[in-house]
């Protein structure tokens, strides 16, 4: 709420101003009254009101003198002057010193006061945003530090002194924290506004912090913000939120919405859900790296290992122990890095894992990529010839089979004439290049069909076929079965 001070020597006029409208409804609250300018100056220094409604003619110190001395004392409050018809000269002086407006006592009405307060409200909002903008830029370092501390990457959250950070500049603000689990979808201020979650979005300063497929929105506001739930039949994302009266509780509030959004990570639930602050101890679960290292050793020695069953077992254990989404994703990234290194392949890329929206989706992506790494290495080991340039072509195809690969591309890659390369490849491998590329793609497709639940059209795209019908035609040529029949037969 914006704080209002009434300064008027006539008691009945003060009472009339106080009672004429519902101040709270318009976002204002009266925090004090004064009967003269001298008394008012002390209240201004001690209470720091946002709006001062002040009579022009008063004993001891008139309204113009009060405005001038308030400015000299550092007050940035908006002044609205109450005047009579014969006070116009004083009104002019007040406007020169920065008064926002004036109201004739005889014409004061509910309509006039409402319009006046709405205008002042917009002025105060704009002033506040401009004042806090430089501090807003400095807050990003604080958000980063807190985020890392929440997952024990630096110090414990309880050791962070928020009073020594830019958060102190927001001490008079109310804070509402939202966490939105949007995955790879682009999420920005317009996306948040479209969710229609805030009752008074115009009064808020919004900061967006995105990491690991979720965005935290810090909503700083001079008034408590009511969160609107149930505005739409279906929400596109899971949303957790919490309202805080004291910005000093920012860390605990952020941790609360992260824990709440973790529920949707394991059991996808779109829509807003209120988080609660509580002191739940962090999970002490440790990733069974000894089992992972055993799988890696088997793979390094070309032994067959049931890596999929082990990954599924670990993922079930992560869910039972409710490990936070961020740590689950970081675990997947570490595993991907290890498997790609063992199989001498390029890693999938951390962002693909961080952008997953569910625990199940992350597990399937990890298994797909590990399968892909192993298949690529197996193909390279099996297809070695006595010609170094043909081996280069085989290696290139194994790395890029899921993209557009042409005879011309391969010829340029090894610096050969396209016709010469085509004849040499068939001589050294026993099959032409196009047939070889199709065979590799179909072998990878067979692995995806057996080991994942991906739709047939997605599998076709993943292995390099952009046309569904063509994929099915080539698959049937190599296996005598459609992809769907092959999947049913092998399961």
Provide the pLDDT for residue 178.
96
Residue ranges covered by each domain of the chain? 2-108, 133-274, 291-490
Distance in Å from the first CA to the final CA of the chain: 64
Is residue 108 within 8 A of residue 20, CB to CB? The reply is yes
CA distances to 294, 299, 340, 344, 444 from 369, in Å? 19, 15, 9, 13, 11
Provide the pLDDT for residue 305.
61
Low-confidence ranges of the chain (pLDDT < 70): 85-98, 100, 102, 106, 132-134, 136, 152-159, 279-286, 297-305, 343-345, 377-384, 491
| CATH number 1.10.10.60 is the correct assignment for the domain at 291-490 | yes
The residue to which tokens 């939202």 are assigned? 178
Provide the pLDDT for residue 273.
92
* Own/partner long-range contacts of 471-479 (Cβ < 8 Å, ≥24 apart): 471/445, 474/438, 474/441, 474/442, 475/442, 475/445, 478/438, 478/439, 478/442, 479/442, 479/446
Provide the pLDDT for residue 154.
46
Quote the CA–CA distance of 186 and 286 in Å, as a whole number.
33
| Tokens of residue 109, six digits | 């009405």
Span 2-108: which CATH code? Answer: 3.40.50.2300
Strand order in the sheet with 101-104: 28-34, 2-7, 51-55, 78-83, 101-104
- Angle made by CA atoms 216, 205, 2, in degrees to the nearest 5: 135
Is residue 373 within 8 A of residue 333, CB to CB? The reply is no
Quote the CA–CA distance of 351 and 365 in Å, as a whole number.
12
- Residues whose CB is less than 8 angstroms from the CB of residue 273 and which lie 6 or more positions away in sequence, other chains included: 238, 239, 240, 241, 260, 263, 264
How many C-beta atoms lie closer than 10 Å to residue 309's C-beta? 10
């Amino acid at each position: 709420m914006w704080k209002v001070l009434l300064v008027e020597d006539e008691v009945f006029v003060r009472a009339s101003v106080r009672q004429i409208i519902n101040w709270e409804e318009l976002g204002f609250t009266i925090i004090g009254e004064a009967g003269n300018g001298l008394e008012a100056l002390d209240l201004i220094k001690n209470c720091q009101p946002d709006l001062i409604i002040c009579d022009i003619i008063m004993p001891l110190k008139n309204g113009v003198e009060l405005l001038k001395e308030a400015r000299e004392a550092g007050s940035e409050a908006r002044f609205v002057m109450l005047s009579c018809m014969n006070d116009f000269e004083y009104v002019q002086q007040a406007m020169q010193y920065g008064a926002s407006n004036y109201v004739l006592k005889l014409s004061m009405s509910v309509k006039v006061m409402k319009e006046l307060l709405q205008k002042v409200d917009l002025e105060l909002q704009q002033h506040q945003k401009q004042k806090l903008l430089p501090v807003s830029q400095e807050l990003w370092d604080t958000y980063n530090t807190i985020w890392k501390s929440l997952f024990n990457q630096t110090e414990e959250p309880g050791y962070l002194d928020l009073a020594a950070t830019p958060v102190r500049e927001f001490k008079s603000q109310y804070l509402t924290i939202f966490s939105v689990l949007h995955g790879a979808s682009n999420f920005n201020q317009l996306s948040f506004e479209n969710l229609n979650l805030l009752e008074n979005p115009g009064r808020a300063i919004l900061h967006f912090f995105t990491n690991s497929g979720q965005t935290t929105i810090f909503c700083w506001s001079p008034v408590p913000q009511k969160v609107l739930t149930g505005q739409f039949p279906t929400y596109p994302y899971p949303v957790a939120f919490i309202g805080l009266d004291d910005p000093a509780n920012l860390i605990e509030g952020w941790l609360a919405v992260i824990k709440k959004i973790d529920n949707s990570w394991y059991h996808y639930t779109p829509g807003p859900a209120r988080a609660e602050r509580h002191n739940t101890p962090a999970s002490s679960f440790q990733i069974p790296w000894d089992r992972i290292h055993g799988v890696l050793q088997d793979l390094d020695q070309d032994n067959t290992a049931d890596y999929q069953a082990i990954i599924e077992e670990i993922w079930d254990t992560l869910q039972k122990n409710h490990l936070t989404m961020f740590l689950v994703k970081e675990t997947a990234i570490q595993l991907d890095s290890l498997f790609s290194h063992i199989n001498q392949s390029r890693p999938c890329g951390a962002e693909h894992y961080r952008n997953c929206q569910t625990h199940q989706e992350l597990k399937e992506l990890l298994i797909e990529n590990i399968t892909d790494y192993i298949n690529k290495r197996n193909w390279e080991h099996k297809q070695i010839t006595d010609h170094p340039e043909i081996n280069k072509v085989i290696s290139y195809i194994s790395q890029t089979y899921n993209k557009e690969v042409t005879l011309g591309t391969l010829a340029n890659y090894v610096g050969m004439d396209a016709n010469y390369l085509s004849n040499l490849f068939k001589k050294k491998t026993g099959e032409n290049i196009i047939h070889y590329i199709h065979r590799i793609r179909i072998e990878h497709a067979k692995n995806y069909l057996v080991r994942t639940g991906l739709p047939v059209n997605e599998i076709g795209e993943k292995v390099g076929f952009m046309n569904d019908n063509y994929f099915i035609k080539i698959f049937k040529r190599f296996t005598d079965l459609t992809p769907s029949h092959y999947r049913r037969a092998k399961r």
